Amino acid sequence: MVIVELSEVGKTYHPRDGAPVVAVQDVNLTVQEGEFVSLVGPSGCGKTTVLNMIIGLLAPTTGTLELRLGEESRQRPGVVFQRPVLLPWRSALENVLLPSEVGGLRARRSTPDDGGEGGSRRAAMEQRARSLLDMVGLQGFESKLPTELSGGMQQRVAIARALLLRNQLLCMDEPFSALDEFTREQMNEQLLSIWHSQSLTCVFVTHNLFEATFLSDRIIVMATNPGRVITELEVPLPRPRTRDMMTAPGCVATVARIRQLLGLSTSSQEREPAGGGA
Amino acid sequence: MAESLITEGDPQQLAPKEPGSRKPVRKRREQGWLVIALSRIAVFAAVVAFWQYAVVSGLVSGLVVPTATEVVSRFWRDLVSVLTGGAMREHFLVTAGEIYAAFLIVLVGGTLAGVVIHEVRFVNRVIYPYIVAFAAMPRVAFAPLVLIWFGFDMASKIVIGIMIALFPTLVATLAGLAATDDEKLQLMRALGATQLETFLKVRFWEALPYIFAGLQTSVVTATIGVVVGEFAGGRRGLGVLVTVYQDSLDIAGSFSAIFLLSLVGLFNYYVMQYARKRIVYWVGERVPA
């Protein structure tokens, strides 16, 4: 079942001073339920713009965008940004609980898993928040303030927060780019196991091609000037993925193919000795 | 007391009493603190000794400057009088009451006004130039007029206290509400939060450290406003006493009243510092704005 569908979607900004800027144009993209899809491309290719339109932070200027997230039409995608964006006055647990406290009264009354009225809903939410923190490996850190947690731990809190309301769709915008290489690999593995165990659908933005390949079923390759999708690739790696696959021929070949598509490969460098880097 | 005046505006000076988070830093800090404490006492003793010498030796006239021991014993007597319910207590309580009335009104009114002015954009755009204009006025100059309008009792002093103390809190509240991190607002939008929820869960909290910085200034300026009001005229209060003693050339009495006022200021400063640490616990030692 298709749960995200973009057809001919474009976004143009109209700055007060100057000509309109086309951030992205003619994007056709579908995401199947349970799929892991990554958007890759150089800065300025509009990958974050596309993600922000899916999240609902931006409205497309042209084309149509549709989300089909279960019966509760009010359900939103869970979101993880590049930075954890935790509220520093709230403990880890309270940060995870934030989504259950907002969205207006109507939304709060009709949560999928509420056992009853008032206090018991809060209790159920708290229980879920605790189990999510366990799942991301933060048991025992529930009452810590964000400043007492490392960058990787903060981002794990952000992931738990994104999943509190049993969100089916998880949208992530370069969530691990601020982490060191080792932590990032660990987080990649953990994310895959969460994706699998929670039957999530993921849309993942990154500029790290190995990360995209390791995580994804499908990679959407984007380019600049104007921002657009140039192609889609299926990743020829079996599931479940293991860390060894980072160096498997299928992985390396996929990365090489994307580099070529983006004009980063050796063949294009030979033609332009000055370097074809984007 | 002389010490309190020096450190009043400098929170860093008062910080070393807090245990540091890392051990080596803490150890170094504590050693430093002992040296600093001893040095402070030495400075105080030196000032008092020089003062005493200057008056006794006739360097300055004993008629206009009392000796240090005279001032200290007078201050002690007045302090005991305040504590045991003597004649000084009434003056002390009147002034303290005026300061706290003005400060509480500023606390509630300044914060609420800041919220309303910020949230209602139209009001913000219309009112802001007037706030700036009024803040730029030498507002103490209104004191004689306020006395005409509000009488010689506590009300006029409270009004002047409010006039002086309102702006630090109001301006800090406006600054704090405007300073909300865009990423947090984006998060709240992605979560589908309403305006009210965003305000209650994020904006207000983000503004709190600023509001506290404003309140800490306001509690000091409220004292100044109240004393200016008492100078302008009145029957009871420490500021009134200063002027009464001045007329009768009771300089030691004036000093003593001023020191009682600084005692109130010092107490307020520490209460605010404590409250800030408890309520804005996530900010640490850093004071914004």
Cα separations (Å) of B69 from B42, B47, B100, B107?
17, 12, 32, 39
- Show which of residues 32-61 on chain A sit within 8 Å of chain B, judged by CB atoms: 55-57
Per-residue model confidence as pLDDT tens digits over A102-120: 876 555 555 554 444 556 7
- A150 pLDDT higher than 60: yes
Any CB–CB contact under 8 A between A85 and chain B? yes
CB spacing of B191 vs A103 below 8 angstroms = yes
Q: What is the enclosing helix (H) or strand (E) of A30?
A: strand A21-32
Determine the pLDDT at residue A9.
94
Q: What is the CATH number assigned to the segment(s) B66-279?
A: 1.10.3720.10
- For residue A8, give the nearest of A63, A67, A49, A46 by alpha carbon: A63
Nearest to A87 among B189, B205, B281 (CB): B205
Whole-number percent of chain A with pLDDT over 70: 88
- Measured between alpha carbons, how far is A160 from A135 in angstroms, rounded to an integer? 8
Each domain of chain B, given as residue ranges in start order, spans 1-65, 66-279
Per-chain mean pLDDT for chain B: 86
Radius of gyration of chain B (CA): 23
- Claim: this prediction has a pTM higher than 0.90: no
Bridge partners of A66, per DSSP, are A5
Per-residue model confidence as pLDDT tens digits over B155-206: 999 999 999 999 999 999 999 999 889 999 999 999 989 889 999 999 999 9
Q: Whole-angstrom distance between the N-terminal and C-terminal Cα of chain A?
A: 36
Each domain of chain A, given as residue ranges in start order, spans 1-77+167-278, 86-166
Bridge partners of A228, per DSSP, are A223
Mean pLDDT value of segment A41-54: 92
Any CB–CB contact under 8 A between A172 and chain B? no
Phi, psi (deg, nearest 5) at residue A89:
-90, 0
| Long-range pairs, B168-171, Cβ under 8 A, ≥24 | B168/B214, B168/B215, B168/B217, B168/B218, B168/B221, B169/B106, B169/B107, B169/B110, B169/B111, B169/B114, B169/B211, B169/B214, B169/B215, B169/B217, B169/B218, B170/B110, B170/B113, B170/B114, B170/B117, B170/B131, B170/B214, B171/B131, B171/B135, B171/B214
Q: Is A113 exposed, middle or buried (0-12, 13-18, 19+ CB in 10 A)?
A: exposed
CA distance A30 to chain B (A): 21
Q: What is the enclosing helix (H) or strand (E) of A219?
A: strand A218-223
- How many CB atoms are closer than 10 A to CB B74? 20
Residues of A in Cβ contact (< 8 Å) with B183: 81, 83, 85
- Disruptive mutation site among A67, A89, A100, A174 for chain B (greatest number of B CBs within 10 Å): A89
Per-chain mean pLDDT for chain A: 86
* Contact in structure between A40 and A34 (CB atoms under 8 Å): no
CA distance A25 to chain B (A): 23
CA of residue A183 relative to chain centroid, distance: 17
- B287 pLDDT higher than 90: no
- B108 pLDDT higher than 60: yes
Residues of A in Cβ contact (< 8 Å) with B197: 101-104
Mean pLDDT value of segment A122-148: 92
CATH fold of A1-77+167-278 reads Rossmann fold (3.40.50)
Residues of B in Cβ contact (< 8 Å) with A107: 192
Per-residue model confidence as pLDDT tens digits over A48-93: 999 999 999 999 999 999 888 866 545 789 999 999 999 999 999 9
Nearest to B201 among A74, A102, A145 (CB): A102
Nearest to B190 among A55, A89, A145 (CB): A55
Q: Whole-angstrom distance between the N-terminal and C-terminal Cα of chain B?
A: 28
Helix B251-279 vs helix B204-232: crossing angle, to nearest 10: 170
CB spacing of A81 vs B281 below 8 angstroms = no
Determine the pLDDT at residue A273.
44
Sheet strand arrangement including A62-67? A21-32, A2-13, A62-67
Per-residue model confidence as pLDDT tens digits over A195-251: 999 889 999 999 999 999 999 999 999 998 889 999 999 999 988 898 888 888 889
Mean pLDDT value of segment B70-80: 93
